Every structure is written in structure tokens, then in C-alpha cells.
Amino acid sequence: MSPYSRRQFMLSGAALAGGSLLAGCEAPVRELEGGFTGVNIDRGHALRDRLKRGGDALAPSVTHRTGVVIAGGGIAGLSAARALRLAGVDDFALLELEDRPGGNSKGGSIKGIECPLGAHYLPVPGDDASEVQDYLEELGLRKRVAGRWQYDEMSLCHSPQERLFFNGQWQDGLLPMHEVGAGTLAQYRRFSELVAAQSRVAAFTMPTMKTWMRHGGLPAAHAALDAITFAGWLASHGLDDPHLRWYLDYACRDDYGAGAARVSAWSGIAYFASRHGFHAPSQEVIGEDERDAVLTWPQGNGWLSQQLAAPLAVRGQLRTGHSVIRIAQTGHAVEVDVHVAESDRIERWVAAHCVVALPIFLAARVVQSAPDFLQQAATRMQWAPWLVANIHIDAPLEDRAGAAPSWDNVLYADAVPGGLGYVDAGHQRLDPRPAPTVLSYYQALGDLPDARKLLVEQPWTHWRDPIIASLSSAHPDLAQRATRMEITRYGHAMSVPVPGGQALLGRIGMAGIQGRRLALSNGEKVPLTPTPVSGRLSFAHADWSGYSVFEEAFTRGFGAGALAATRLRGA
């Protein structure tokens, strides 16, 4: 790999910033090694070639039989497996394309330091996310002490939690505040009032299905917001302050992979209303630490996916390197054909039920005689590409003036398209001594033209150099401290909640609801959730909520797994 110079990344930063050079020192820089890691794009391309050949190339060489097949090992698939376990069902297999399960919640390491390859935190869940709460309790992360729920202090994000590089210095929090005018503060307050007003009309929940269940579908007030873009809604209320609009656009890209001009007004409001609301600086907030509390680990949500997968690996229920290429219902069973990477052969699984825990666009390709609701969803929905760049540094970085180094560090108007800043994988360490760490930089590419094509065709240096250039504006010595960068690419990282999405998915979800309750092995009864169903198939993925977060994937997976257990046991 050829070294890049300070001049090279200064010029790349200038191009991204519209011609203004990024500030930085002129000290010599080391060669920054690295490359692509994580998702195996080549494996998918090889499989595509086999599918094109067809015929004997797709004939199964062996057949396995089991009670339930779970197609897909992201959080939804892993949660479906947990539901089966709690229902006393052990006769199942989980099939996953990659060598490690977890989907967007995988972790990795660089030079022995663990870091996230995708999602990096879980907000302390509210009561609507009861399935997630129960799982955290099972892990010992949540327990009742003196009548109150408490969360594991080691897993709660340590302070300081977040900061913003704004107007040449760091400030606490991500809402721009340094030297902003009275007009900006007034619009902050106005937006806060509007979020609260919308919540009073019809409460927002996470997961969204809990709202549907309470109202028998999508509430009228939510449907009105779902019909327009967030940018259009903001404009209709005269909210045009550039600082407010930057922050709200950042929030949309952070959770949805695309900005306010693409996502629905429903999703823009739900970002705040389903969690902690939006609080203008002058507003007094009771229990603010609890309101903003998040759980995180050095490897991000990869830690949670590891805990979900561990018992499956022990019992032989987890099959990695298995690419699902066909799901077909027969008279009395489901056939699931997979390509096994290690042996390069096709195998068939025959089961009484299948949990399709695949992204909607992929499910529509592999499910034979796909139901109308699946085809409609695949046609209407959109997906955002994503990139995570993990940068190993050998010592703490120089800092500009202002707030202290935090877990989450964001650059205002980042020069990198879709740049969301970085989290410090070493932030949870208790040892105060300076040490090497990994900075995990996130880039949402939903608004970048041809982003998916660029991820496949461009070398890793295409992404490396602008990232280093941009971060150097806040950390002048980054090029001297960085020793390696590893980039994880996601071509279809998350569904984008575009206008009309909630209306469609709400209809589909409510049509599949089952009016029964699942009896767990411990005698507890759990209500079944709105789960899209077609014969012996139940569908589970965060896509069915219209956006990709842990709580949505986990709850949908649990509901689909519970339904599979009920049907398998003849309940």
C-alpha cells in the first residue's frame, strides 16, 4: 500500500469542504495500513454466479430435517431463537450467511482492541420494549433494587457521553449552542413544543408495533405525519434555522441512514418522541441522566449479539456460512435451500415452520410464490448503504479547546458526506492511564448518489483519506497517531422510513396479528405481536417496522419465534 502524505489528505479534505483547506500540523505522517473487513461481499457475488447457472448447480446434495428453520442470523433471527428456547423448543436451526451472526450488531477487534463493526449502543429501554427489558434482566444487566429498576453501571455509558466540534471548539452535547443567537434558541424551543404536542395527540412507542396494537393500526395523527417528508413538515412550521436543521438532519442520518429531505415526518418526530423527547436548552429536565442513559460495550451491540448466539453454538443450532437461496412451501412443510460456503455445495432443510428473518428485499427474492404483502413491501421500501471505519491510534489525540474527550464525538457540518463522527471503543475502560484505542467512525450513505456501487468498486483508500482529513480538523495529530484503519461496508444497512412506509407496514402487521398468547415453559403467557404471516412462514426483521434499531429487530424476532413455537406445538 502506498503511503499518503499530509498534502494528499489536505487536498482531499479541501475538495470535500468546497475548497477550504482543513487545519492541521505539518509533521511527517506514517503509512496508514488497512483494508475492508467484516461483511463478505465477494461471497455474495460468487453465489450470484451460481444462481445464474441454475440447473444442477442448485441441486441439493443432502437433506436435513428440523422443526423450525430460522433464515437469517441478525438480531431478529437470534431473538426468534431465544423465543423458541423460552417456549421449550430445541428442534430448530438458525442459518446465517456470514461467518458470525449479528447482522448490523457485530463486533470486531484491531490489534487486540475490541470495537463495533455496526450498531454501538442500546438506549435504556422503556416499558414498551418489554421483551428487551426481559432479556437484559436475564443477562443480569437490569435488576430491581429497593423497588426500583437499576442497570449495570459497567454497561451504562460512562461520562462524558457526547460532544460536538462546533465553531472551532468542542462543546458538551450535540445540539449546537456555542455563540448561537436568540433566533436559534427560539426555534429550538418551538420544535420542542411541537414534539410534545404531537406526543399528546397520539403517543409514539418503540417498538412501533405497540402503537399499532393500542390503536388497532396506525393512528390518524401518525398517518398524517407519515404522508410527508420531515423537511416538508419543518418548513410548514417555519423551522428553518440552519443549526436546528443541521441537528435534525444529523439525527435522521444517525438512525435512518438518510436525511430529513427523504425520511417521513413521522420518523423525524418518532426519533425524539419514542425515546426522550426534545429538550431545548432553557427547559428544566427531571432525571436527565436516566433520560439520556445508553448501554454500550467496547464492541458495541456486538456484545449483545454474542450473548444471544453463544447458547446456539453450544447446542449446534447455529449454522454460519449458510446462504439462503430458496424458501418454498410444500403441502406439509417448508423447504429451505442454502449454499454452504465451506463445502461449496447446496443443502436442503425441511421444517414444519420457517422464520424468515431476512431483510425484506432479500426475502422477496428467495421466497417462492412470495405473498402480495411481501412483494408490495419490497417494491415500496428503500435501503441506505452504510460504512464503519475503525481507526487504531497508538496514543490519545491532541484536542482543540472546549469539552473533554467523550464516548460520542461529532463534527458539525462534517466534510465527509454522511459523516456522523466517531465513538471511542476504549471509553468504558476503568484504567485512567493513556493507552491505544480504536475510534469507530460512522458514515451514512443514503443520500450519496451511487453509494452502493462506490462501496463495491472503489478501493478502501477512497474512503480512508477523506475521513482522516475531516477528523484532522479537530485532531491535528491524527495522521501521526493512526496506525491502521479497517472499513466495514453495508450495501443495504438499514431501511429508510420514507413517506407512506408506516401506513403500508401497519396494514401488513395488523393483518398478521394472531389473537392468542404463547405459553412459555415457565408457565408465563406472552402476547403474540403483529407478525406478517404466510402459511408456514412468519416474517421477522426490523424492516417490518420501517427502520433499523435493536429494539425493533429484537421484538419482531421474538414475536415471530413465539408464533413458530405455538404452531409447532399445535397451540
Specify whether the CB–CB gap between 116 and 299 falls below 8 A: yes
Placement of cell 441441486 in the chain: 59
Specify whether the CB–CB gap between 468 and 439 falls below 8 A: no
Q: Helix, strand, or coil here: 16?
A: helix
Q: Is the per-residue pLDDT at 427 higher than 90?
A: yes
Q: What phi and psi values does residue 14 have, to the nearest 5 degrees?
A: -65, -40
Placement of cell 431473538 in the chain: 79
266-312: pLDDT as tens digits: 999 999 999 888 988 865 444 444 447 999 999 999 999 999 999 99
Question: What's the distance, Cα to Cα, between the start and end of the chain in Å?
Answer: 60
Give me the residues paired with residue 109 across strands. 114
150 sits in which H/E element: strand 148-151
From residue 364, give the alpha-carbon distance in Å to each of 6, 354, 361, 378, 400.
Answer: 47, 15, 5, 6, 49
Does the pTM surpass 0.75? The reply is: yes
Q: What percent of the chain has pLDDT over 90?
A: 77
57: left (phi over 0), alpha (psi -120 to 50) or beta: alpha
The arithmetic mean of pLDDT across residues 528-549, rounded, is: 90
Q: Is the per-residue pLDDT at 319 higher than 70?
A: yes
Q: Is the per-residue pLDDT at 513 higher than 80?
A: no
122-157: pLDDT as tens digits: 999 999 999 999 999 999 999 988 888 899 999 999
Residue 188 exposure: Cα atoms within 13 Å on the Cβ side = 19
Q: Helix, strand, or coil here: 110?
A: strand
Q: Helix, strand, or coil here: 119?
A: coil
Our CA dihedral for 325, 330, 332, 334, rounded to 10 degrees, sits at 10
Length of the chain (residues): 571
Top-confidence residue, 100 or 290: 100
Q: Is the per-residue pLDDT at 468 higher than 60?
A: yes
pLDDT of residue 8: 34
Compute the distance between CA of residue 276 and CA of residue 291 in angstroms, rounded to an integer: 6
Top-confidence residue, 18 or 164: 164
Compute the distance between CA of residue 543 and CA of residue 256 in angstroms, rounded to an integer: 11
Compute the distance between CA of residue 342 and CA of residue 99 in angstroms, rounded to an integer: 10
The DSSP secondary-structure symbol of 543 reads G
Specify whether the CB–CB gap between 518 and 564 falls below 8 A: no
pLDDT of residue 24: 38
Compute the distance between CA of residue 257 and CA of residue 467 in angstroms, rounded to an integer: 18
Q: In sequence order, what DSSP letters do the residues of 169-214 get, joined into one string?
A: EEEESSS--TT--HHHHHHHHHHHHHHHHHHHHS---SSTHHHHHH
Compute the distance between CA of residue 141 and CA of residue 145 in angstroms, rounded to an integer: 12
**How many contiguous H segments (helices) and E segments (strands) does the chain have?**
19, 24
- The band of 473, judged by pLDDT with boundaries at 50, 70 and 90, is very high
Strands (E), 362-475: 382-393, 408-411, 419-424, 437-444
Specify whether the CB–CB gap between 546 and 501 falls below 8 A: yes
374-401: pLDDT as tens digits: 999 999 999 999 999 999 999 999 999 9
Burial, 185: exposed, middle or buried (Cβ in 10 Å; 0-12, 13-18, 19+)? middle
161-215: pLDDT as tens digits: 999 999 999 999 999 999 999 999 999 999 999 999 999 999 999 999 888 888 8
State the cell numbers at 478. Answer: 491524527
